[in-house]
């Protein structure tokens, strides 16, 4: 499968392509294999995102998942940079208003994080929720900070502003 790696502020990332569509993004470096024009464009757009000069990705995506997961990922792509939505918001957008726990599962299974911005999805009350990418919530916070969003810290005593 063609792939390309980049250095980013959140660590090394590798982008995977199949049939001229982005199918995955993962943490870590791999040996580049057949870098294609779509991979070069994805690398260019990710670098622009991390440089604060791109707020919306324009890439052909083909994430593998259930119809519901694909609907959730499509709804995630509509959350503008610098804004957030809740699991409940995405459940409604995906046509299943009570399926907010399944939205959390879809977030965790997102094969193309950052580009499909699961980091913009929060639990109710603007609580961070989780993040399945390398670095967990610290990575989620870092991605949101790139977009100008500061999440409060959660402690045993409640939520504290940063």
CATH class in words for 67-152: mainly alpha
Measured in Å, how far apart are the chain's first and last C-alpha atoms? 42
Check residue 114 and give its pLDDT: 96
pLDDT tens-digit map of 4-31: 999 999 999 999 999 999 999 999 988 8
Q: Helices (DSSP H) in 51-113: which residue ranges?
A: 67-77, 87-93, 100-108
Q: How confident is the model at residue 57 (pLDDT cuts 50, 70, 90)?
A: very high
Give yes or no: 107 in active site: no
Residue of 118, 143, 144, 146 marked active site:
118
What pTM was estimated for this model as a whole?
A: 0.89
Residue 52, classified by CB atoms within 10 Å of its CB into exposed (0-12), middle (13-18) or buried (19+), is exposed
Do the Cβ atoms of 102 and 91 come closer than 8 Å? yes
Q: Where are the domains of the chain?
A: 3-50, 67-152
CA distance 133 to 156: 24
Position 162 pLDDT exceeds 60:
no
């Amino acid at each position: 499968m063609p792939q390309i790696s980049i250095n980013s502020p959140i660590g090394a990332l590798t982008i995977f392509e199949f049939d001229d569509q982005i199918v995955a993004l993962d943490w870590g470096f791999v040996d580049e294999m057949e870098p294609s024009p779509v991979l070069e464009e994805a690398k260019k757009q990710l670098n622009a995102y991390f440089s604060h000069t791109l707020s919306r990705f324009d890439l052909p995506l083909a994430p593998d998942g259930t119809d519901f997961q694909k609907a959730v990922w499509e709804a995630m792509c509509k959350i503008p940079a610098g804004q957030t939505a809740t699991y409940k918001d995405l459940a409604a957008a995906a046509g299943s208003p009570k399926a907010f726990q399944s939205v959390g599962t879809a977030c965790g299974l997102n094969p193309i994080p950052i580009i499909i911005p699961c980091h913009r999805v929060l639990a109710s009350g603007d609580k961070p929720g989780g993040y399945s990418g390398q670095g967990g919530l610290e990575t989620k916070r870092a991605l949101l900070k790139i977009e100008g969003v500061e999440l409060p810290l959660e402690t045993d005593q409640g939520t504290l502003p940063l």
